[in-house]
Amino acid sequence: MDIPVLDVTADESADLLRDPYPIFERRRRETGGVFRGSVMDWTKAADELRPDNLYAAVSFDAVNRVFRDSKVFNSQIYDTTIGLFMGPTILAMEGKKHWEHRNLVSAAFKSKSLLRWEPEIVRPVVNGLIDEFVGAGEADLVRDFTLEFPTRVISKLLGLPDEDLPWFRKRAVELISYHVKYKRAFEASAALKDYFLDQIEKRKSKPTEDVIGDLVAAEIDGEKLSDEAIYSFLRLLLPAGLETTYRSSGNLLFLLLTHPEQFRAVQADRELIAPAIEEGLRFETPLTTVQRYAAEETELEGVTVPQGAVIDVCIGSANRDEHRWERSEEFDIFRKRTPHISFAAGEHTCMGLHLARMETRVALECLLDRLSDIGLVTDDNPDIYGQPFRSPTAMPVTFAAAG
């Protein structure tokens, strides 16, 4: 029996950018969680770019199953997408090879490093940024803050010279924008490879206490990371460490500012910052959809998914599943804590999740410490926008300097 294809229609494409969640809710209600079709907009893409067998997982249970069953649903699809620009990365590895690389790379993100990074790097970077606009009484928190602090943090963690930051930021943006200008992304990727190889060589002769130094020195059972594995991972850090953190922190600030009672509660009780971060990640995940490849035919939530199918794994829909959360379409930092799936699950769970949470917490703490009477300027109608990456395009605010 032929299953009808449910793709995003031309009428829905504009809504998908503004607010995809009503579309996600309809797909969950109409299909039960899995369907043949897509939650991405293919109306403007060439027909040959759309995979022949495309399915979508939109319920929490379906998304969770796809993430956790990496034998059936693998991530090798990234070799033919982002891997073209990044080279071979842990993102597309599976099984033994994945765990070997993950164990080596995770040495650079050990918990004692996070404890040191917060006071030595993250907090000074965030406060330094606030120094640049605190006297003005107004700022665009996207342009002046959320877009900027993850770049400065990552460059410090990598141990890059301050004078290289403008060049590094420009290459990072070009690489992240591979879906818009792919030729420039290839050029940025090559430039970053050469740059990181030079940084690697310097650390081989003179070890350093930074992420690149840790990766060069990492060793498990006598095995070290190759230069290619190191610079490919470092390039992957740019979209993983910059794009998602700037968007998730921006989403949280926007949600709090547009829910003033909850914002006042966080101002009064800093213990609410942690649940606010989790609710922000659930309600407006920075990356709504990723993809997986079906390595064999299988059944997912009662739907037969053929071998070779590409699956849209819709995190944004899973995080609003009404069967898992009451009032799932409401932002509520006081709700009973039920884990979301914004950092994926299974063997490809985001390795930087603790760093991302720490950066967002420090950013919010410093803003609350140093600014008072923060108000969102709504004349320009700022809003959270985009698909699959979502965040505010602008966040103009007025404020007074605290104390």
Reported as a single tens digit per residue, the pLDDT across 50-93 is 778 999 999 999 999 999 998 899 887 665 555 556 666 555 55
**Could you tell me if residue 184 is inside a domain?**
yes
SS3 384: strand
**Could you tell me if residue 1 is inside a domain?**
no
**Could you tell me if residue 395 is inside a domain?**
yes
Closest CA to 187 of 199, 173, 197: 173
**Phi-psi label, residue 181: left if phi above 0, alpha if psi -120 to 50, beta otherwise:** beta
Distance CA 6, CA 25 (A): 13
* Composition of the chain by helix, strand, coil, percent to 5: 55, 15, 30
What contacts 179, CB < 8 A, 6 or more positions away?
Answer: none
Task: Encode 330-350: b = buried (16+ Cβ within 10 Å), e = exposed.
Answer: ebbbebeeeebbbbbbebbee
**CA torsion, points 136, 140, 143, 147, in degrees to nearest 10?**
110
pLDDT at 209: 86
pLDDT at 354: 87
**Phi-psi label, residue 8: left if phi above 0, alpha if psi -120 to 50, beta otherwise:** beta
Which domain does 33 fall in, by range? 10-401
Distance CA 374, CA 394 (A): 15
Tokens standing for residue 266: 């966080």
Count structural domains, the chain.
1
Rg (CA), the chain: 21
Residue 276 CA, distance from chain mean position: 17
Distance CA 276, CA 367 (A): 15
Tokens standing for residue 180: 């818009």
Cβ–Cβ under 8 Å, residues 173 and 191: no
SS3 59: coil
**Could you tell me if residue 3 is inside a domain?**
no
Q: pLDDT under 50 in the chain at which residues?
A: 1
Q: Which amino acid is at 357?
A: R
**Could you tell me if residue 109 is inside a domain?**
yes
Tokens standing for residue 333: 């930092």
Reported as a single tens digit per residue, the pLDDT across 316-353 is 999 999 999 999 999 999 999 999 999 988 877 777 88
pLDDT at 1: 45
Q: Say if residue 396 is preceded by a cis peptide, omega within 30 of 0.
A: no
pLDDT at 101: 61
pLDDT at 379: 74
**Could you tell me if residue 96 is inside a domain?**
yes
**Could you tell me if residue 297 is inside a domain?**
yes
pLDDT at 7: 87
User: What is the H or E stretch that residue 210 is in?
Assistant: none
Count Cβ atoms below 10 Å from residue 308 Cβ, excluding itself: 13
pTM: 0.90
pLDDT at 127: 97
**CA torsion, points 29, 31, 34, 38, in degrees to nearest 10?**
-90
Cβ–Cβ under 8 Å, residues 384 and 390: yes
If you ran DSSP here, which 8-state letter would residue 92 be given?
Answer: G
Cβ–Cβ under 8 Å, residues 55 and 37: yes
Distance CA 232, CA 196 (A): 9
SS3 372: strand
**Could you tell me if residue 4 is inside a domain?**
no
Q: 314 to each of 13, 55, 64, 81, how far by Cα in Å?
A: 16, 11, 10, 18
DSSP 105-171: HGGGG-HHHHHHHIIIIIHHHHHHHHHHHGGGSEEETIIIIITTHHHHHHHHHHT--GGGHHHHHHH
Domain of 180, CATH number, reads 1.10.630.10
Cβ–Cβ under 8 Å, residues 351 and 244: no
- Strand-pair partners of 391: 385
